[in-house]
Amino acid sequence: QKEVEQNSGPLSVPEGAIASLNCTYSDRVSQSFFWYRQYSGKSPELIMSIYSNGDKEDGRFTAQLNKASQYVSLLIRDSQPSDSATYLCAGRESRDDKIIFGKGTRLHILP
């Protein structure tokens, strides 16, 4: 199993709906998880960080962490066309503290 895995998509969601992005991780990845948004040709932008089990909300974004099942998810409510981007899930490797990224999920919000 790769350390951080994401479905590459594309995931198409109608405008105004909820977009749900998922990520699973291996035993090598520890307690800290991050979601980044990356527009084409740009660098990743940090959206959310989550360190403990449960939900964390910030505006239209909710990150969810389930350590027992080893998955992290990002929900985007009231999706807007400007949310169309690649979303990168990342986690901290337990052994040497480096941050490992998944390949990203491409999200398309349909007007």
Partner 1 sequence: ETGVTQSPTHLIKTRGQQVTLRCSSQSGHNTVSWYQQALGQGPQFIFQYYREEENGRGNFPPRFSGLQFPNYSSELNVNALELDDSALYLCASTLGLAGGRTYEQYFGPGTRLTVT
Q: Which residues bind partner 1 (CB under 8 A)?
A: 4, 32, 34, 36, 42-46, 49, 88, 90, 92, 96-104
CB of 60 to partner 1, least distance (A): 20
CB of 81 to partner 1, least distance (A): 22
Q: Which is nearer to partner 1, 27 or 98 (CB)?
A: 98
Q: Residue 75: which of 87, 86, 61, 85 has the closest Cα?
A: 61
CB of 18 to partner 1, least distance (A): 24
The secondary structure of 47-71 as a DSSP string is EEEE-SSEEEEETTEEEEEETTTTE
Min CB(96)–partner 1 separation in Å: 5
Q: How many CA atoms lie within 13 A of 100 on its CB side?
A: 21
Rounded Cα distance, 103 and 2, in Å: 11
Q: 15 vs 62, which CB is nearer to partner 1?
A: 62
Q: Please, which residue, 37 or 109, has the CB nearer to partner 1? A: 37
In whole angstroms, give the CA distance from residue 26 to residue 17. Answer: 30
Q: Which is nearer to partner 1, 52 or 98 (CB)?
A: 98
Tokens of 38: 């990356």
